[in-house]
Structure 1
Amino acid sequence: MEPPKGVLASLWNFICFLPYFIGLLLLGNFKGILFCPLICLIMTIGNSAIILGLWPVHFLWTYYCMFRAKRYGPALKIVVCIFVLPVQLILWPVVGIVGSIVGGAAYGFLSPVMQTFQAVGEGKTNQLYHCFYDGTWSTVQGCFTVVRDFGDVCYHTYFSVMDDLRQQGPPDAKYYEIRVLYLPGAVIISVLGFMVDMPVISFIALCKSPYMLFKGWHRLFHDLIGREGPFLETICVPFAGLAILLWPLAVVGAVLGSMVASIFLGAFAGVVVYQESSFWLGLCYIIASLSIYDEYSNDILDMPEGSCFPRPNYRKKAKLVRTNSHGPTISRPGSFRSVPSRSVSFTNPITELKPLELIDSLFKECKRHGEILVSEGIITLQDIEDAKSSKGSRVISIGLPAYCLLQALLRSAKANSAGILLSDNVTELTSSNRPKDTFFDWFFNPLLIIKDQIKAENLSEAEEAYLCKLVLLNGDPLRSKNSNIGSPPESERKQAELDAFARRLQGITKSISRYPTFRRRFENLVNAISDDLAQNDGSSKPTDGPKTIPRSKSAFARLFSQKSFSFTNKTSNHGYDPESQTVVNDVTIT
């Protein structure tokens, strides 16, 4: 939709927009007020029960794993167990319960409001019905999903992290130790940094908040009248109008966020003292941190560059190119400065991939490859039953997702892709369209490095088959040794390199498995594969010993049907016939 041209057209569009927006806002607020207490109660009770129920286990197991940790020295263990862990374990229930109350109230109110506006987007049918229904039952379902994912994090993710802490040894055969003599100075300077930065940064944030409020309103109203920025598309008009009303809350949130950040910014002075072994440099950091915040806030608000605070060097080896606080600062994010181009429209969207979409597509590929591998006898029904039980199955939980990631890396390396080529052979996951979540950065760049290393190795089909076996079965050393699928390379160096690739891929997959929604999706994956196999086999009970199951003919498998699959006899696309691949709308990983 083209924006109106002329002052009168813009004014008439604004007048017509007001009753439309106010009606949706009132309806959304009514649903939000109605469901907010219920959602807040459900989320608070659910999360609080999880926190308090697991707290004794967390307390004992955390101390046990810390004492048994191989990477930490005795002095560091004593300091952590006496001064750090008690504070964290005592604050955890308080912070968790308070966060559940605030988060439940915010989700219970905002979710119906946002879904009410989404119901009138372009392309929606029966908009009147969806205006009243959307955001009601879906909010209740989403609340239970949040509680379940929170429970998975507190149980599965927690024990996974603690097991790594307890079992993994130190790098270079040297455990981490702490220099006890520098701790008193670090603690003193941390407290001093908090006492200085907290009030000063809070004062700076309060002084700049009116500027942020009125400049933000000026920008939003300018876009509303001229139909620019977030008002360019009709679908965005209700949301942008809501942004005008909620902008004061954003300003309050920015001020509160600055206050909270000042605590950690000031306390970091103790880290500087410990790292640099200098009390004086810690004092320099306290002054420099004020300048850092002042300059950063000026950049965000498009205010004059520089700061009224000095910025002394607080490192023995300066990492900054400049030390003058009045010099050029970092580039400004044009949040208030530049007007978005009218050519940027939802009619020509930029493909930006989201983490949850990638994880969903990863599990779809796990289901497809899992059915194929089971039909070939590589994955047994016992593996699936173990994955559903408390025993766990590393072949299913870690090996299968790692195998799917490996297929993507092999395909990307052969296609000379700069990023990771998805299974549609069209969509490419690169640094420009990847999700911006910090969690995603932890494994995206390592995957690119592994892809480049695999490309440099120029693996043969036999070596690729052996690598696939290692990635899939490395969690079960006995089966990996007894398996007849593929043969190790003759070169010991090549074999060691492939072993390293497999270990790194499984380590990355294990990190991905700690994502809050991973466990729920994994259980759905295992149940779906098990149900499909049970329908085709005529029985849902596992038999003794490995069993070859006829390939499942589920709807998803039929979309990606193929004639055969094996590690030793591969096509150019590593195990599936490209001619039989059906193009679907979902973005898939491998």
Structure 2
Amino acid sequence: MEVPVGFIAKLWNFVSFLPFFFLLFILGLVKAAIVSPVVVGIILVGNSAVILGLWPAHFVWTYYCVAKTKRLGLVLKVLVMMLLPVPLVLWPIIGILGNLLGGIGYGFFAPLIATFEAVGQNVADKFFHCFVDGCLSTLEGSCTVVRDFTDFCFHSYFSYMDDLSEEIPPDEKPMDIKLSKLPSCLLVALLGVPVDVLLITAVALWKSPSMLFKGWKRLLEDLIGREGPFLEAVCVPFAGLAIILWPLAVVGAVISAFLSSFFLGLYGGVIVHQEDSLLMGLAYVVAVVSLFDEYTNDLLYLREGSCFPRPRYHRNMSPSTGLERRKSIDSDKNDQKNGREGSYNSKLGREGSYNSKLVSERSRTLKWAIQQYAPMQVWDWLFKSCEVNGRQLLRDGLIDVKDIAECILKGKCKKLGIKLPAWCILQCLLASAKSESSGLVISDGMELTRSNWPRDKVFEWFIGPLLIMKEQIKGLQLDESEEICLRELIMGCNNEKPEDWNDTGFPSSDTVRRAQLQAIIRRLQGIVGTMSRIPTFTRRFKTLVKALCIEAIQTGILADDRIGRILKSRHGGKSFHGIGDRKDREEIEDKSGRRAYDSGNIV
């Protein structure tokens, strides 16, 4: 779509846009007013019932695991048990209040945003979807929120506690604190909280007008000039909606700074214990204000550094302040004028990257943004791969039908929930190691690389180790027989000790090579175990197991009348045909409307 050129064209675009936007905004508000109370009721009542119902179990089990764990030393364990009543008593209050605010936000904004999305370029019958979209889907989403929250409280929490109470390796030392350091730690924490809360909140309030007007300026430029991410989405007036809601984002940023300042102040006690110095802890209390100020300056493209002092709070760091860094920058520029380019080149590179960032942000389009994979797309690929490969593994006998029956009847999906995703990720690693890709090959024509993977810190924590494992597998240069055996071992072997592979028929007799492969599998299963604690994983994997169970019954692999009656009762007495093929696949359908099952081969 052409971008309007000239002041008159831009002004006419802006004027013609306003009535269209306000009509959609009013319609979205009406839908939100109707849907929001129901959504708030579902989320508040459902999640509050879970919180209050499980609170006694959480209270008792937390104390039991903390008392049992060997990861904490005696002094730290006693201190934690003395302080535990505070978060455990506050949890129902904070949880219920958070669900109330979350329900209000979701019930209000989901229908409002869906109203604007209904007039997108790829939507047919826009008039109908303007009135319908965001109503039923928001109600269904609120039920999903309750279900995921329930899975977290039932599954994820107890899984974390079980890890805490597990045995530690012999070479690992438990965490502990020295009683002699405790008074200094408490003193710095008590001093740091009021000082840092006051100063950090003051800095956030001082910078909030700049954040407000800079954000408005940028959004108005995109709206009037049809530039930036709104270039190819001219018919979707999200710019106007963002302009109206931007003050809420600023308020949210100030509140976040206020809440985080408590934890930043308390961390001063940790510095005292790490450095065994009261002065270092007090220095951190002062320095963290400078760090926060510099962070906000970088975020808002303000001046370099900070005007606050930054004393040294670690012994291995050089003392530095914002003013000193500013002087060093000026001296670097003077050195460059005199022909000394050494230190200035680094600064020039930083300025160049800063300028290029601004240019790229103003010139990028929605098409460029779509080329970046979202975390949900990668999540969809994993479950798509689990179903496609799971059906094949079921036919090959590598998936035990007893595990499927146990997951359906008893809800115990931990064993299958780790082995099947780990098998699929291993398949991806093997294919990626054979290719010349610098990332991960997830399907035909789709590669996950550093240039297109989601810009999400949590996602990078998962993908980083996988890239390392891919390079390790590539260095081992596995032959075909080893790859086949490795796929069987990950499904049918515990892989906990080197002796577990003695009678498996693994082609290589090299003990070092086998130990390296076992370590890769254990690390991979550990990553999947961490992923399984995400609430959506439990819900989607149970849906996946249901589809595999139906496949097993239809193919005659599993003949269990009890499971059949359960599945039929859950689907209103309907036959098995189509349940796993249609409804279960809709669970793993991506947001773009393109069914993942029609997008090529799965690795």
TM-score by length of 2: 0.85
Q: Percent identity?
A: 46
Provide the residue aligned with 1:25 in structure 2: 25
1:92-107 equivalent positions in 2, closer than 5 A = 92-107=91-106
Equivalence for 2:482: 463
Q: What is the aligned partner in structure 1 of residue 573 from structure 2? A: none
Report what 1:258 is aligned to. Answer: 257
User: 2:424 maps to what in 1?
Assistant: 404
> Which residue type is aligned with residue 389 of structure 2?
H
* Equivalence for 2:51: 51
CA distance in 2, matches of 1:476, 1:498: 10
**Per the alignment, do residues 42 and 235 of structure 1 end up closer, same or farther by CA in structure 2, a change over 3 Å counting?**
farther
Task: Give a deviation string over 1:118-164, Cα, whole Å, max 9, x none.
Answer: 00000210000100000100000000001101111111111111111
Please state whether the residue corresponding to 1:124 is helix, strand or coil. Answer: coil
Give the C-alpha shift of residue 72 in structure 1. 2.1
What are the equivalent positions in structure 2 for 1:262-273 lying under 5 Å apart? 262-273=261-272
Alpha-carbon RMSD across the aligned residues, in angstroms, is: 3.1
Question: How has the CA–CA distance of structure 1 residues 486 and 378 changed in structure 2, closer, same or farther, with 3 Å as cutoff?
Answer: farther
Distance 1:207 1:225, change over 3 A: same
Partner SS for 1:362: helix
Q: Which residue of 2 aligns with 1:513?
A: 532
| Residue equivalent to 1:472 | 491
Matches within 5 A, 1:118-137: 118-137=117-136
Whether contact under 8 Å (1:395, 1:475) holds in the other structure is no
Offset at 1:2? 1.1
Matching residue's letter, 2:155: H
Trace 1:431-446 onto structure 2 (pairs within 5 A): 431-446=450-465
Hey, what does 2:193 align to over in structure 1?
194
Q: Which amino acid aligns with 2:434?
A: K
1:167 paired residue number? 166
- C-alpha contact 2:186 2:269 (8 A) present in aligned 1: yes
Query: After superposition, where does 1:422-571 map in structure 2 within 5 Å?
Result: 422-424=442-444, 426-475=445-494, 486-487=505-506, 489-537=508-556, 540-541=559-560
> Residues 294 and 105 of structure 1: is their aligned pair in 2 closer, same or farther, counting only changes over 3 Å?
same
Taking the TM superposition and a 5 Å limit, the aligned residue runs for 1:127-276 are 127-170=126-169, 172-235=171-234, 237-276=236-275
337-346 vs 399-408, greater mean Cα deviation: 337-346
- Hey, what does 2:371 align to over in structure 1? 351
Structure-2 separation of matches of 1:477 and 1:204? 52
Indicate the SS of the match to 2:171. Answer: helix
Aligned partners of 2:544, 2:158: CA distance in 1, in Å?
A: 22
The count of residues paired between Structure 1 and Structure 2 equals 557
Match of 2:332 in 1: none
For structure 1, the 5+ residue unaligned runs are 544-551, 559-581
2:308·2:321 contact (CA, 8 Å) conserved in 1? no
Which structure 2 residue ranges, 5 or more long, are not aligned? 330-346, 563-575, 583-594
Q: Distance in 2 between matches of 1:583 and 1:230?
A: 26
**Shift in alpha-carbon separation, 1:231–1:493, aligned structure 2, 3 A:** closer
Quick one: which amino acid aligns to residue 150 of structure 2?
Answer: G
Is the CA contact (8 Å cut-off) linking 1:272 and 1:285 kept in structure 2?
A: yes
Q: In structure 1, what is the Cα distance between the partners aligned to 2:104 and 2:548?
A: 37
Asked if structure 2 preserves the Cα contact closer than 8 Å seen for 1:185 and 1:270, the reply is: yes
Per the alignment, in what secondary structure is the counterpart of residue 307 of structure 2? coil
- CA distance change for structure 1 residues 494 and 482 in 2, over 3 Å: closer, same or farther? closer
* Higher mean C-alpha displacement, 133-142 vs 7-16: 7-16
Q: What CA distance in whole angstroms lies between the structure 2 residues aligned with 1:33 and 1:555?
A: 35
Secondary structure (helix, strand or coil) at the match of 1:433 reads coil
Query: How many angstroms does 1:423 deviate by?
Result: 2.1
Asked whether 1:16 is paired with 2:16, we answer: yes
What's the CA shift for 1:477?
Answer: 8.2
Equivalent position SS for 1:31:
helix
- When residues 343 and 249 of structure 1 are mapped into structure 2, their CA distance, relative to the original with a 3 A threshold, is closer
Structure 2 counterpart of 1:361: 381
Q: Aligned to 2:434, which of 392, 414, 429? A: 414
Greater mean alpha carbon deviation, residues 13-22 or residues 527-536: 527-536
Asked if the contact 2:280–2:313 (Cα under 8 Å) also holds between the matched residues in 1, the reply is: yes
Please list the CA deviations of residues 466-520 of structure 1 after superposition, one character each: whole Å capped at 9, or x if unmatched.
Answer: 3223322234989x96998753531222222222122111111101111120001
Aligned to 1:576: none
Residue 125 of structure 1 aligns to a residue whose secondary structure is coil
The CA deviation string for residues 308-364 of structure 1, in whole angstroms up to 9 with x for no partner, is: 211111110117888735356996997999355675333455522222222222112
Residue deviations 1:521-574, cap 9 Å, x none? 10000000111221222964079xxxxxxxx9989999xxxxxxxxxxxxxxxx
Which residue identity lines up with residue 119 of structure 2 in the other structure?
V
Alpha-carbon separation, structure 2, partners of 1:359 and 1:381? 25
How far, CA to CA, are the matches of 1:534 and 1:297 in structure 2? 59
AA in 1 matched with 2:31 = K
Counterpart of 1:500, as a letter, is A
Cα distance in structure 1, aligned partners of 2:247 and 2:367 = 31
SS of equivalent residue, structure 2 residue 108: helix
Residue type at the aligned position of 1:209: S
The range that moved more, 148-157 or 330-339, is: 330-339
After superposition, what is the alpha-carbon deviation per residue over 1:67-96, rounded to whole angstroms, capped at 9, x for unaligned? 22132222221111112x222212211111
Partner amino acid, structure 1, of 2:73:
G
> Once superposed, which parts of structure 1, at least 4 consecutive aligned residues long, lie more than 4 Å away?
319-323, 327-337, 339-343, 347-350, 475-478, 480-486, 552-558, 582-589
Deviation at 1:365, TM superposition (A): 1.4
Counterpart of 1:378 (choices 398, 405, 426) is: 398
Read off the aligned partner of 2:490 and give its amino acid letter: V
Opposite residue 136 of structure 1, the aligned amino acid is C
Contact 1:361 1:588 in 2 (8 A): no
Deviation string, structure 1 residues 408-456 (Cα, Å, up to 9, x no partner): 00000011321111121x2111223222333322321111111111111
For residues 244 and 423 of structure 1, do their structure 2 counterparts lie closer, same or farther at Cα, with a shift above 3 Å needed? Answer: same
Q: 1:540 to 1:133 in 2, by over 3 A?
A: farther
State yes or no: 1:388 paired with 2:387: no
Checking the alignment, whether the CA contact within 8 Å between 1:530 and 1:540 is kept in structure 2 is no
Partner SS, residue 189 of structure 1: helix
Deviation sequence 1:4-46 (CA, Å, 0-9, x none) = 1121111111111000000000000111122111111110111
Amino acid at match of 1:522: F
User: 2:77 is matched by which residue type in structure 1?
Assistant: K
Does structure 2 conserve the Cα–Cα contact (< 8 Å) formed by 1:532 and 1:554?
no
Structure 2 residue aligned with 1:577:
none
Measure how far apart 1:200 and its partner are.
Answer: 1.4
Q: Is the 8 A contact 1:395 1:473 kept in 2?
A: no
